[in-house]
Structure formats: C-alpha cells, structure tokens
Amino acid sequence: AQKVTQAQTEISVVEKEDVTLDCVYETRDTTYYLFWYKQPPSGELVFLIRRNSFDEQNEISGRYSWNFQKSTSSFNFTITASQVVDSAVYFCALSEAYFGNEKLTFGTGTRLTIIP
C-alpha cells in the first residue's frame, strides 16, 4: 500500500523568508511518480511538478525548488523569498506505475500562510 505523509499541518512565515514543505512517502514499487499540487483559496488544485523514481536530480523553477531523496523517501519543496501569493494548501502525491493504476495518493496537505 502506498502512503504519503506531510507532517507539517500549518506553517506561517513572514514575506521574503524561505520555507520548506516536507513530504515523506511509502511504496513497495521501484517505479513510481511523485507530484506537488497547490490549492489556493479558490479551491482548484494546480499542478506544480512531477518526478519519476529514477530521476533524483533536484529541480529549480524560479523561486520553487524540489529535493528528491530516495534514501530517505522524501520529496521536499522549498519556496525561496516567499510572497503573499504563495499562501495556499500544498499537497504532495504519489502514483505507482503499473497498468490500470493511475490514481494519486495524496498527503493531508500543509497550509502555508505568508504574512505581509
């Protein structure tokens, strides 16, 4: 069975601070995919990034960066120089890679509040 744990329920930081959101996952598969989604107050989930289990390179996209470490089963997300528009609930998700199974297993989310 697959499981995603986001231990941080809520985080508040002052604008321009850096913040890291933690994600730990469990799976018995060797091939899998990890995702981050953002859910702003409007409610619609927005795709941020996908990573497959064979690619451990860190990724940077503007102020966002992701650190994937298979050794610790973690896929952490860092926002640099946070802005008020980053306030949202962020979800980490896992998909095991075999035919007929495309479903996402989500964590419980981390509510991020950026204080102006």
Partner 1 sequence: GAGVSQSPRYKVAKRGQDVALRCDPISGHVSLFWYQQALGQGPEFLTYFQNEAQLDKSGLPSDRFFAERPEGSVSTLKIQRTQQEDSAVYLCASSAGGLAGYEQYFGPGTRLTVT
In angstroms, what CA-CA distances link 103 with 2, 35, 45, 87, 100? 11, 12, 15, 26, 9
Please identify which residue in 50, 56, 69, 70 interacts with partner 1, judged by CB under 8 A.
50
Segment interacting with partner 1, rule: CB under 8 A, options 14-22, 62-70, 78-86, 102-110: 102-110
**Tokens 């964590």, residue located:** 107
Segment interacting with partner 1, rule: CB under 8 A, options 18-26, 56-64, 74-82, 106-114: 106-114
Please, are residues 33 and 93 in contact by the beta-carbon 8 Å criterion? no
Residue 44 gets the label, from left (phi > 0), alpha (psi -120 to 50) or beta, of beta
Q: Which is nearer to partner 1, 16 or 70 (CB)?
A: 70
- Can residue 113 be called a binding residue for partner 1 (CB under 8 A)? no
Site residues, partner 1 (CB under 8 A): 4, 33, 35, 37, 42-47, 50, 52, 91, 93, 95-109
